[in-house]
Structures are given as C-alpha cells and as structure tokens.
Amino acid sequence: MKLRSILLGASAFALLSLGAGAAKADGELFFYNWSNYFPPELFDKFEKETGIKVTLDVYDSNETMLAKLQAGASGYDIVVASDYMVDVMIKEKLATEFDAKSLENFKNVAKPHDTMKYDPDRKYSVTYLWGTTGFTYDSDVAKEKLDDSWKEFFEPRPEFQGKIGALNDEVEMYAAAAYYAGVDKCTEDPKEAQKILDILQKQKPYVAVYSSEGTIDRMAAKEVAMHMQWNGASHRTKESLPSAVFVYPREGLSFWSDHFIIPKGSPHFENAKTFINWMMQPENAAAASNYAGYMNAIKGSDAYLDESLKTDPAVNMPEKYADRLVPGKNCSEKARDLRNRVWTKLKS
C-alpha cells in the first residue's frame, strides 16, 4: 500500500486540486488515492501533455475507500486499490471493465504484473506500485541490533516501550499478529483469532499511536522509535533518519501490490484510460517510484530510478528474504467478520 506522511486538509474528503494553472481545459480527472502516494509534479506534467486537469482526494485505508464507493460516491475516475480489494470491487461490481491489455503501453508491463490472481486477464486493473509491510526501528535507540522477528514489535524491549507507532489498519495489524502467532491471517477459528487478539492487547500499552498517516515524519522527529511501515515509507524515513532500519520478520510479512481501477460511474472514462496508459510509460512510472519509494511494474523504468532506491534493502529486497513474503489474500466473509471483531475490541 502506501505512504501516509501528510494530512491533506481538515477533511479526508476535501478535494485538493493539483493541476497546473495554465490548463488547456480539454477535460478533467478525479483521482482517489492514498495520501502522499503520487508526485504532485507528475500531475502537472500529465496536464501539460494531455490538457487533462487532475483533482485529488485521499483516504487512509482500502476499507475507507470501499465504504465511500459502497455509499454511492460516483464522482471518481480512478481509485487505487490493493490486491485483495481488487477482488472485492470486481465482485461487488464497483469496478468498470476497460481491458488494460488493449492500451498501447501495456506492452511495457513486466511479468508477473501482466496478470494477477484476482484479475488474471487484466480487464479491470493495472499495477501502480508494489511493496511489503514490516517495521522500522531507530538503531540509535536500540542497545543492540534487533532480531528479525515480529517479537521486537509486539513485545518490545524496554527502550522501545511506549515509543511504538502502529498502523491504524485492521488488515495489516491483524495479519502481522497472525504471522507472529503462526496462524492463518484468514482464519475462521475463534480460538486462533483470540491468539491474535491476545498479541495485540499485550502490545497495546507500549503503543504511542495508531496511525497510518505521518509515519515518516513521526519517525524522523523521533516521536516514536519504532513504527510498523510499508517499505517505501521506511525508505523515505531513512532519508531524514539515517539510523532507521527496516526489518523483514522471519515469521512472514505481507507482500502487496496497488492497482489503478476505474470505478463504477466514472464521469471521465476515456480520460481515466488516457491516464493509466500514460502511467505505463517508463519515465512516468519511475517518477512515481522515486517519489513514493516503492517499485513499479514497468519495464525500462530502472533507467530513471534514483540510485538510493536501487541500493536500499528496504526497497530492493535481498533475495534471502524472498521466502518470507506472504501475498495478499481476500479472506472469507466469516474470517473478515472475525478480524473486524478483534480489531473493534482492541480499539475499544
């Protein structure tokens, strides 16, 4: 998923126009995305080259985005959905078919991103960026190098107690606790869900904040000494806090990908297709990676990537960690209900 370092306005639903002032007025595009997950200057470039003015609205989780669409919001032309949410949107008929493979620049999409589990023929989606969810800690605070285990996050050492930043994300936190507990993150067994809740409740006194936004700034300002983070956020944290270390827990960590989708009721369907096709150009995809700190799915983009991305293990994962990655999974309704009850109890 996924950087959350800037709060855009007093309301999550306030629209922020990022188009250039000298618009050609050839059209509009309404874009619904995670906060701080797309370079503003790329909106300007897109408008200059196409005449299409982009207006951005932001959310803090897939579930927030889904709830708004389920409630009838129909003014968006593109939304960014994580892998499991693509499945949900297709099944609930909230995604519009546009046949991504018919777009001119789809030829630039690298394998395995030319297909995906929930949209094998790429009729509804195109990969934007992909990454992992682990945790970052300040090595200057640690008395010794931490173990590569979720135990360091859920059962923190004394120097990190009360200085933990957790994501305010039901799916990510539940999954991480499930990996640590050694149970399926989509379990339907109440006893296994209780194990997950026990881990989360035991950790709670040591958590300073549950927030998916501002993770980079929070770490950089040393408001917390450890934070659950998406790997791109960890990369950007390291730019301001060189002592930041990203951990690939051996119990497993989520491997995710985010995708462009044209939602049901898009008022500017052709403009949405134009934007998606434009984002499959290597230079544009690389600009998104350089800004957000995550890898893209476009062949040839590496020629435009910042060297810091290529050399940071948080982004360019060492091969030895490959077997630790756990792909996204759309859990059953029963499992989702169980997860939600655990999360609600934790936050009450």
Which residue has better confidence, 310 or 217? 217
What average pLDDT does the segment 29-56 reach?
96
Tokens of 322: 């490959």
Would you state the pLDDT for residue 329? 86
* Cα–chain center distance at 343: 19
Q: Which residues have CB under 8 Å from 49's CB, separation 6+?
A: 278
Helix axis angle, 269-279 to 40-50, nearest 10°: 120
Alpha carbon distances (Å) from 167 to 174, 215, 254, 299, 315: 10, 8, 14, 32, 19
Indicate the pTM of the whole model: 0.80
Q: Which domains does the chain carry?
A: 26-130+256-311 (3.40.190.10), 132-254+317-346 (3.40.190.10)
Conformation bin of residue 217: beta by default, left when phi > 0, alpha when psi is -120 to 50: alpha
> How crowded is residue 30: how many other Cβ atoms within 10 Å of its Cβ?
21
| Residue pLDDT, tens place only, 209-241 | 999 989 999 999 999 999 999 999 999 999 999
> How crowded is residue 137: how many other Cβ atoms within 10 Å of its Cβ?
29
Would you state the pLDDT for residue 85? 95
Would you state the pLDDT for residue 26? 62
Which residue has better confidence, 10 or 34? 34
Does 171 belong to an annotated binding site? Answer: yes
Helix (H, G, I), strand (E, B) or coil at 201: helix
Does 172 belong to an annotated binding site? Answer: yes
Q: Which residues have CB under 8 Å from 104's CB, separation 6+?
A: 277
> What are the φ/ψ torsions at residue 178 (nearest 5 degrees)?
-65, -45
DSSP state of 140: T
Does 44 belong to an annotated binding site? Answer: no
Query: Where do we find the tokens 């270390």?
Result: 245
Query: Where do we find the tokens 């450890």?
Result: 226
CB 100 within 8 A of CB 106: yes
Nearest partner of 178 among 154, 212, 157, judged by Cα: 154
Pairing of strands 244-247, 226-230: unpaired
